């Protein structure tokens, strides 16, 4: 992949942000918000952003399949495209619950996968314009500058652990056996914010139970290319075409190993 590709993806993401998302921030009507499931919202901005992104990305790589979060919700058979030779994966508005309640963070996530493996990832913060991107084997970049992941330097390490999608027994186990070893902080409820926090040393470790491709493909690649580590609980790589739960992200491999060892005991 080339910088030209990342520039093109950036332009499509910025266009979706400017046309579909930013004008509706803190200006949504009640009819603009729909509850897909308990504590899972979608807004008119999500749908319009996905349409803009799908159209723009199709122009960049017409040969690539497209899997968008809202399209897949409407037609789950679309998920079979995740193992395609080439596939765009779109989260048109990550952090929808935050956005719907008129607060940050929220952003856009786009990934490009090949045969189930992520080869490109792009993360766009709508309010600040912060742009993170990564290319497989070619490093991670924050606003155009090469990024090397760093830890917070705090002791105990800083942990943001998502238990939203864990069953009650697992929530208790996580809080009893993992939380005491870390300084716990609130999760942003936005992968487009959480992965940059890990790579820039704001947070040291995170645990994710639900690992949908549009939420994690871009961020996992970004963190790994920056020199941190994101992988399944058993250490196997994250693949977009696998329906599995559980993922650890850490700002360094050593912190990942430490948390994984603790997770193995619950």
Task: Give the residue numbers of the binding site.
Answer: 69, 91, 93-94, 215
- Measured between alpha carbons, how far is 252 from 204 in angstroms, rounded to an integer? 8
Beta-carbon-side half-sphere exposure of residue 159 (alpha carbons within 13 Å):
22
Annotated binding site for Mg(2+): 69, 91, 93-94, 215
Give the integer Cα–Cα distance in Å for 72 and 60: 21
Say how many Å lie between the first and final Cα of the chain, rounded: 41
Give the CA-trace dihedral at 162, 213, 27, 74, to 10 degrees.
-120
Environment class of residue 35 by beta-carbon count within 10 Å: exposed (0-12), middle (13-18) or buried (19+)?
Answer: exposed
């Amino acid at each position: 992949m080339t910088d030209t590709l990342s520039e093109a993806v950036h332009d499509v993401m910025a266009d979706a942000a400017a046309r579909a998302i930013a004008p509706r921030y803190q200006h949504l009507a009640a009819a603009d918000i729909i509850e897909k499931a308990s504590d899972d919202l979608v807004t008119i901005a999500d749908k319009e952003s996905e349409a803009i992104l799908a159209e723009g990305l199709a122009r960049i790589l017409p040969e690539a399949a497209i899997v968008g979060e809202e399209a897949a919700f409407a037609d789950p058979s679309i998920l079979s495209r995740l193992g395609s030779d080439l596939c765009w994966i779109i989260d048109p508005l990550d952090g929808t619950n935050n956005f719907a309640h008129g607060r940050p963070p929220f952003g856009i996530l786009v990934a490009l996968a090949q045969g189930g493996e992520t080869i490109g990832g792009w993360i766009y913060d709508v309010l600040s314009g912060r742009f993170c991107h990564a290319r497989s084997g070619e490093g991670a970049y924050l606003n155009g500058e090469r990024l090397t992941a760093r830890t917070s330097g705090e002791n105990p390490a800083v942990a943001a652990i998502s238990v939203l999608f864990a069953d009650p027994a697992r929530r208790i186990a996580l809080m009893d056996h993992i939380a005491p070893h870390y300084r716990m902080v609130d999760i942003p409820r936005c992968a487009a914010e959480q992965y940059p926090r890990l790579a820039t040393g704001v947070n040291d470790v995170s645990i994710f139970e639900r690992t949908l491709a549009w939420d994690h493909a871009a961020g996992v690649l970004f963190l790994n290319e920056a020199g941190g580590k994101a992988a399944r609980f058993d250490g196997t790589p994250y693949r977009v075409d696998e329906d599995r739960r559980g993922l650890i992200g850490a700002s360094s491999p050593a912190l990942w190993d430490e948390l994984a060892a603790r997770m193995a005991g619950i």
